[in-house]
Structure 1
Amino acid sequence: MDRGSERDTPRGRGDSAAGRIPLAVVVVDSEGLVSHWSSGAGRLFGVGRDDAVGHPAADLLPVSGALPDDARGDAMPDAYEEYDGAGPDLEASLGGHSAFATAGRARLTPPGPAPGDERLDVLWWAYPLVGPGTSRLLVLAADATRLRDERGYDDETAERIAPGFARHTELPASEELERHLPEILPNMGPGLSGRIVSQVLELGYPVLEFSQFDRVPVTPYWGVPRRAGRTPAVPLVPQQRAAAPVIPSGAEQDLEYAAVRERLEFLNEVSSRIGSSLDLSETIREVTSAAVPRFADFAGTHLRAAVLAGEGFSDGPPDASTVMFRVWVEHNDEPGRWDDTVPVGEAFAFPEHTPFYKCMVTGEPVVVPRVTGELSDRIAGEFEKRDLRPLIGGRSLLIVPLKARNVVLGFMVLMRRPDRPQFDDMDRTTGAELAARAGLVLDNARMYTYQENVADTLQDSMLPQVSPRMAGCDVATRYLPGTRLGRIGGDWFDTIKLPGSRTALVVGDVMGHGLNSAAMMGQLRTAVQTMAAMETPPARLLRQLDDLARRLGDNYLATCLYAVYDPIRGELQLANAGHIPPVLVRAEDGSSELLDLPTGAPIGVGGVPFEAVRVKVAPGDRLVLCTDGLVEVRGSDIGEGLAALCESAAHPAASMDVACDTIIRALNTRGGRKDDVALLMARLNGIPDEHVAEWLLDADPGEVARARRLVRDRLLEWGLPGAVETAELLVSEVVTNAVRHAGGDRVALRVVRTDALLFEVTDDEPALPAMLAAGPLDESGRGLRVVSRLAREWGASATGHRKTVWFEQAVGSSR
């Protein structure tokens, strides 16, 4: 490098040139990987930020010898040819534990050049970094070819330009480095920026050397317009170093254009970062974090309660009574500085005299260039027991509305520290654009949350509220929505109380997914409940359900498993319509088995008979019914899922809920599940013989008194004297009706004790009784009204040529 004593004077220009050149700024971590990459670096080296960050710096930068030990290589990238250097020896300067800065020049092949194109002349400065964190090298680079072309130097003069270092105390505007680093390097906070710049200033300010005696400071072109009152750039002409710096004509327009470009790049980067998820909470975090630290030092997002709940809300602006929730805060101050004073989750309404109220009511951004002491006092006065003044005083404030479809969803509070430029009109426009994009993303997340809530509500409303205790059995259920969009499907389960202390256990699965499947599921479930209450046998019930599905439409297809448990007989009666078989776990030895049932065809196919199977069970046996979403995974054999179901169902458990959870954990972890899942488990406890009493009565009015006596004696034997009086009255009314209207010679009376008392009276007249409106002078017609008033539940059913009237009475109750 030629460092002659003569001064080098630029040729081809009569006026002074601005002492600023575009800089590429790069930070390299301790592993030799790029951690920060400015837009200027992308333009100079032809590599975008996404393709640079996280990649080896040795493959991207022509800084031979300046990289950490583990990142250095003997050969430079093919695109670079080192031919000049300044500072200490390149190989020793930063290779070990040296604390020296390094500078040099290199030839760079432009990205995608045509054959014969001139190679670029790159000047670079490398600074070793120490201290906390992983940052270990700062690299500044500039295009000497552009310097030569724009400043008018000829080839001979340009060859004598070299990068060098000078004490920062000798040069003006050294604070520009620290001020602008966070603006050009995304995700760099002021802490790291301050540490880096302090070391740069200690090791030597970057300069261009034109001779042994003349050094011109590198005042970088950061792409930010110069504002009134700020120190302009130092001219590049050595003779004018001590004179007042000037800015060439037209430079302000160039800077303004570059500032707009930088903000567009910022907004483009923000747009690519936010909206990656439809989860409302994640979207809120993305939106808030996008502004810090590049645009602001503090960002706080406030949303209306209806937005957080995923609900709709009326059009029109909010007012002083509108409650806003602070949903997220992001800042680059010291940890804990804001957390206690402005906690996330706080809800309050903003008074009319605050700038926050003005923003949310007008729907326009509000700029406060500097928060004065008077405004700081007014804002802080709205927060009890917390003093905001030390945090907001002297800062620049920008409040931007978050809107979608002309409705204000909330607003974002942005602040800059006093050492950063105040928010101006350009920042106001940038903030408004940021808020517009954020508002749209938030509204999409809100609408998705709303649709999810609607789907969940619809699904919950269609699934039954199953009682955990039925006559002679305990029941536990689980439902898992599918992972498909919409979270709603056609899987269902149900338990239905039947006469004779019996219980119907149902599991079904409508083919398809979404609202149509859910609507069809609701229709089929209602039909099953109706037919079950009429004591329709399992095979006939599926036959009638199949006929109904074909009448409703060609697309109605579903599988269904219907089982009736008789706890007195210890028997299951099951019929299957194309559903996966149930699992029966035997209490005696803990073994489990898939019940061998006639498969049948799905509901809606038509023309296929259904068969019922009877299975004897013992007290304590467990029946497990589920839909295929639990055992079937795309790409796997369903037999593997059924085997896993049998194994997990047989696992000992302390309770029914624990047993269900064991099955879900064992099978739901299998990858690839997208369908919804319905699981129903019933422990078949049975009813002991000593808790059942049956008698046959003659169809004679004199048998009514005998029925009362038999019931009284049995209840006293069971130790239930409190239930005797009401039981005698109700049995008397029901047996009287049976004797009076019976078509045969016999009337059957049965009493069953479970958690309640069940009374059943059966006769040979199939016609169901009807409740009559008896007048004051009528001698009959009041029996069923008395039963309806005093019994906990009552009903009637017909089977063949017989009918049964039943009622329940709470144990120990006088009613």
Structure 2
Amino acid sequence: MVVVDGDGLVSHWSTGARRLFGHSRDEAVGQPASDLMPVAGALARNEQGVAHGTYDADGELGPGLHLRGLYPTSGRAKVSGPGPGGLDVLWWAYPLVGPGPGRHLFLAADAARFRADSGTPYDQETHANRDAHRDADAHRDADGNRDADVDREGGARGDVLRVSPGFALHTEFPDSDALARRLPDILPNMGPAESGRIIAQVLELGYPVLEFSHQERVPVTPDWGVPRRAQGRAGAGGPRSGTAPTDTVPGRLRRTAAPRPQLDLEYAEVRERLEFLNEVSGRIGSSLDLATTIREVTSAAVPRFTDFAGTHLRAAVLAGEGFPDGPPDVTTVWHRVWVEHNDEPGRWDDTVPVGEAIAFPEHTPFFQCMVTGEPVLIPRIGEEMGNRISGEFEKRDLRPLINHRSMLLVPLKARDVVLGFMVLMRRPDREPFDDMDRTTGAELAARAGLVLDNARMYTHQENVAETLQDSMLPRVGPRMAGCDIATRYLPGARLGRVGGDWFDAVKLPGSRTALVVGDVMGHGLKSAAMMGQLRTAVRTMATMEMPPAQLLRNLDDVAQRLGETYLATCLYAVYDPIRSELQIANAGHIPPVLVRAEDGGADVLDLPTGAPIGVGGVAFETATVRVRQGDRLVLCTDGLVEVRGADIGDGLAALCASAAHPAASMDDACDAIIRALNTRDGRKDDVALLMARLNGIPGADVAEFQLELDPREVARARRLVRGQLSAWGLPGAAESAELMVSELVTNAMNHARSHRVGLRLVRTDALLCEVLDDEPAPAALLDAGAEDEFGRGLRVVSSLAREWGSSSSARGKTVWFEQALTRTPTRIGGPRTG
């Protein structure tokens, strides 16, 4: 173990280093590390204009050496020694960050101890491999070098166990914690704070390991920033991975001819690129969430590949609107969705803020990248270029951020369409991007583009599914006549997010409200489509004032005529707030829960349970339940109470317990039920929940009158309305109400068959007026001409009323309207009949 300072001089030399390299601590400390160890591949000149890892004309590394990059490196090399063939060394190098003189940590080991023919525990390979080792020794030339057709690790290519140094994640080991505790044993004698700092960095950068392979690796990505060696005279290049130079002077390096000069890529650097891309591929795509994917893609490149990374996406991609149409242009809006850098905090925030929407000017490298779909490389942005780029952006000075930096722009594409692009930049004190980096960046962007497109498609499909589901679920208002309503819907499937559960609340004549909950068996779009048809059928038949049992019977016929093989359960209840009663019919659905306001108790209602909708030929029954003011009715689908492997009775008991819990509001009560029952992991079924607080309508807020079939009764109806509204303290609503009632009563007089017309006024948060006659034909708006004497009555009602409607049954029809009240009514009583 050796520690090297920022100038490349040894600051600590362990006992193991003395035994391995033969230099004492006094001889080594303060000397250049490259003079004592074969670690030149990890060192580079720190002089302006000299590339890292290159050699001068004499093949020697000059002064001012430092560790290459911000990531660890490793290699294998040889030095001359007393034994035959010299010393074969495996080494690992770590950069250190923090106080103190130590800037680089080197670990070294004798490769001879790991040879298969040395009698060590690794001597487990076949005899053919051991023969290959011996055959390889026979191919050495007079200088001790092997022939080009022999594997440089000591045997025939592809026929011998290769040993090379590498790095592995600390967590890849079965007993990683115990392994970490052994690290202080090899570190120099130092305080616990500095020792802990170095250990943390070693664990973060990768644990030193040995890699064994029976095959020759073939690089698939270019050299990681190491320049190609000149192919001049023999020995003009530096050391190759696996065949380090030997020297005639003990402990000093000298150049030797590379046995295979056509392979001019250093193995360790190629592997570093492969490891980087492999790690990035493993880190990105862990989620189908678009925002998470963007953060993963951007953060993966910093600081290992770049110092700054910013990701821009087209607005259509970010909004989940589907695949973008056509190539981008100057009008295309891009969103800067994430920025990652290792500069000082806040340096980029004001000039290039995350979340900004921007259209890039035409004469900029950004525009070139997004239009051509090809990477754009600028090795170094000079003053002139930086001024020109910055000048294309109004009210934005980019020069302090981009000048003297190296820039690489890579497109994020899918199916040959540019979805976005990444801006990568390196600081001036770091090696600039080159052609090899452009290839690596393009490969990174290609992998990121595929992951990004998957996330985009999932987001688009999720948006479509949510839009479909929202369009099929009704918009139930929080208040109906005599009751307050709260609803919840939770999709069960993570993918698709559509199902067959539904709820509804329908306003009926007589201030009544129909409460519905249903569940089409199955999941997905077909179930959702079936649900939409059944819900529409229920709403249509509810306005026809069908009794609950008859409605379910007709719904069963509708389901069979649809031609689908789906089954559905349905619970249909009609609440009459004036009579304080519920009429309920059940088609195979779980029963509702009634929470009594009197004592706070909750009970499952015992109702006749019919067969599911779609079975056919089954009779349904209507049950009548008396309720009191303040009671709450809870209807839900089985996804809320059913747990696989458990009795549904336990789920209903839990529903009763949670529904009976006091809550400040109806919404809070629904949330409490969801929290209490929706706790299991992996829920796949949908949940529909409808809760209604049955407030009732006191008799003092209802006035009913009977009118004779006499034209003079129209005037009497106006007087009755004015008098009742005055008694209720609503004189301001009388004028409009009189006019509308007059029109409706006149129409009823013209169409009624019997001798009576009914008039009812109901006071809630609005004024409800209903006119009843025995003609079943529904009232309809007519297109009255300029000379027509009739046909304008309902148009007057439509203009003045907040809401109006007409419903028909076998007994006749009811035409009603609602009128908004300008102030809270004063309850002073009034007649109920007249």
Counterpart code for 2:736? T
SS of alignment partner, residue 555 of structure 1: coil
The answer to whether residue 625 in structure 2 is matched with residue 615 in structure 1 is yes
Partner of 2:526: 516
Q: CA deviation at 1:812?
A: 4.9
CA distance in 1, matches of 2:657, 2:123: 62
Q: CA deviation at 1:258?
A: 6.6
Q: Which moved more, 1:282-291 or 1:461-470?
A: 282-291
CA distance in 2, matches of 1:400, 1:546: 59
Partner of 1:376: 386
Counterpart code for 1:746? R
Deviation string, structure 1 residues 730-754 (Cα, Å, up to 9, x no partner) = 3233333333433223332221111
The answer to whether residue 155 in structure 2 is matched with residue 113 in structure 1 is no
Q: CA deviation at 1:613?
A: 0.6
Q: Is the 8 A contact 2:410 2:421 kept in 1?
A: yes
Please show how residues 118-197 of structure 1 align to structure 2 within 5 Å: none
CA distance in 2, matches of 1:600, 1:100: 78
The answer to whether residue 796 in structure 2 is matched with residue 786 in structure 1 is yes
SS of alignment partner, residue 450 of structure 1: helix
Deviation string, structure 1 residues 29-81 (Cα, Å, up to 9, x no partner) = xxxxxxx998969x99xxxxxxxxxxxxxxxxxxxxxxxxxxxxxxxxxxxxx
Q: CA deviation at 1:633?
A: 2.5
SS of alignment partner, residue 609 of structure 1: coil
Deviation string, structure 1 residues 257-285 (Cα, Å, up to 9, x no partner) = 77555534433333333222211111112
CA distance in 1, matches of 2:121, 2:397: 58
Counterpart code for 1:571? E
Partner of 2:587: 577
Partner of 2:814: 804
Partner of 1:323: 333
Please show how residues 647-686 of structure 1 align to structure 2 within 5 Å: 647-686=657-696
CA distance in 1, matches of 2:664, 2:227: 74
Counterpart code for 2:353? P
Q: Which moved more, 1:323-332 or 1:502-511?
A: 323-332
Q: Is the 8 A contact 1:377 1:389 kept in 2?
A: yes
For the structure 1 residues 803 and 410, does the alpha-carbon distance in structure 2 shift closer, same or farther, using more than 3 Å as the test? Answer: closer
The answer to whether residue 741 in structure 2 is matched with residue 735 in structure 1 is no
Q: CA deviation at 1:384?
A: 7.1
The answer to whether residue 242 in structure 2 is matched with residue 232 in structure 1 is no
Partner of 1:698: 708
Counterpart code for 1:763? D
Please show how residues 239-258 of structure 1 align to structure 2 within 5 Å: 239=249, 245=255, 248=258, 250-251=260-261, 253-255=263-265
Q: Is the 8 A contact 1:359 1:400 kept in 2?
A: yes
For the structure 1 residues 563 and 246, does the alpha-carbon distance in structure 2 shift closer, same or farther, using more than 3 Å as the test? Answer: same
Q: Is the 8 A contact 1:400 1:413 kept in 2?
A: yes
For the structure 1 residues 4 and 586, does the alpha-carbon distance in structure 2 shift closer, same or farther, using more than 3 Å as the test? Answer: closer
Counterpart code for 1:473? C
Alignment equivalent of 1:500, drawn from 485, 498, 510? 510
For the structure 1 residues 109 and 335, does the alpha-carbon distance in structure 2 shift closer, same or farther, using more than 3 Å as the test? Answer: farther
Q: Is the 8 A contact 1:564 1:573 kept in 2?
A: yes
Q: CA deviation at 1:486?
A: 0.6
SS of alignment partner, residue 415 of structure 1: strand
Partner of 1:751: 761
For the structure 1 residues 296 and 740, does the alpha-carbon distance in structure 2 shift closer, same or farther, using more than 3 Å as the test? Answer: closer
For the structure 1 residues 433 and 85, does the alpha-carbon distance in structure 2 shift closer, same or farther, using more than 3 Å as the test? Answer: closer
Q: Is the 8 A contact 2:324 2:419 kept in 1?
A: no
Q: CA deviation at 1:498?
A: 0.4
Q: Is the 8 A contact 1:633 1:671 kept in 2?
A: no
Q: CA deviation at 1:255?
A: 2.3
For the structure 1 residues 521 and 149, does the alpha-carbon distance in structure 2 shift closer, same or farther, using more than 3 Å as the test? Answer: farther
Pairwise CA RMSD of aligned residues? 4.1
Partner of 2:718: 708
CA distance in 1, matches of 2:410, 2:635: 55
| TM-score of the pair, normalised by structure 1 | 0.73
SS of alignment partner, residue 360 of structure 1: helix
Counterpart code for 1:570? S
CA distance in 2, matches of 1:622, 1:353: 67
SS of alignment partner, residue 350 of structure 1: coil
Partner of 1:601: 611
For the structure 1 residues 302 and 776, does the alpha-carbon distance in structure 2 shift closer, same or farther, using more than 3 Å as the test? Answer: closer
Q: Is the 8 A contact 1:186 1:293 kept in 2?
A: no
Alignment equivalent of 1:636, drawn from 641, 646, 651? 646
CA distance in 1, matches of 2:369, 2:675: 50
For the structure 1 residues 566 and 258, does the alpha-carbon distance in structure 2 shift closer, same or farther, using more than 3 Å as the test? Answer: same
The answer to whether residue 541 in structure 2 is matched with residue 531 in structure 1 is yes
CA distance in 2, matches of 1:319, 1:383: 16
Counterpart code for 1:312? G
Counterpart code for 2:665? S
Counterpart code for 1:733? E
Q: Is the 8 A contact 2:228 2:265 kept in 1?
A: no
Deviation string, structure 1 residues 416-441 (Cα, Å, up to 9, x no partner) = 33444332222222221221121111
Q: Which moved more, 1:269-278 or 1:500-509?
A: 269-278
Q: Which moved more, 1:341-350 or 1:598-607?
A: 341-350
SS of alignment partner, residue 523 of structure 2: coil
Counterpart code for 2:507? K
For the structure 1 residues 367 and 228, does the alpha-carbon distance in structure 2 shift closer, same or farther, using more than 3 Å as the test? Answer: farther
Q: CA deviation at 1:342?
A: 3.6
Aligned residues: 663
Alignment equivalent of 2:449, drawn from 432, 439, 445? 439
Q: Is the 8 A contact 1:495 1:506 kept in 2?
A: yes
CA distance in 1, matches of 2:430, 2:654: 63
Partner of 2:376: 366
Counterpart code for 2:678? N
Q: Which moved more, 1:778-787 or 1:285-294?
A: 778-787
Q: CA deviation at 1:610?
A: 0.8
CA distance in 2, matches of 1:273, 1:588: 58
The answer to whether residue 423 in structure 2 is matched with residue 413 in structure 1 is yes
Partner of 1:478: 488
Partner of 2:9: none
CA distance in 1, matches of 2:432, 2:124: 41
The answer to whether residue 631 in structure 2 is matched with residue 625 in structure 1 is no
Gaps of 5+ in 1: 6-17, 24-35, 45-82, 87-97, 122-143, 156-180, 201-221
Counterpart code for 2:651? G
The answer to whether residue 567 in structure 2 is matched with residue 567 in structure 1 is no
**Percentage of identical aligned residues:** 70
For the structure 1 residues 671 and 429, does the alpha-carbon distance in structure 2 shift closer, same or farther, using more than 3 Å as the test? Answer: closer
Deviation string, structure 1 residues 174-232 (Cα, Å, up to 9, x no partner) = xxxxxxx9x97889xxxx9xx979x99xxxxxxxxxxxxxxxxxxxxx98644469983
CA distance in 1, matches of 2:390, 2:169: 32
SS of alignment partner, residue 659 of structure 1: helix
Q: CA deviation at 1:701?
A: 3.0
CA distance in 1, matches of 2:283, 2:107: 36
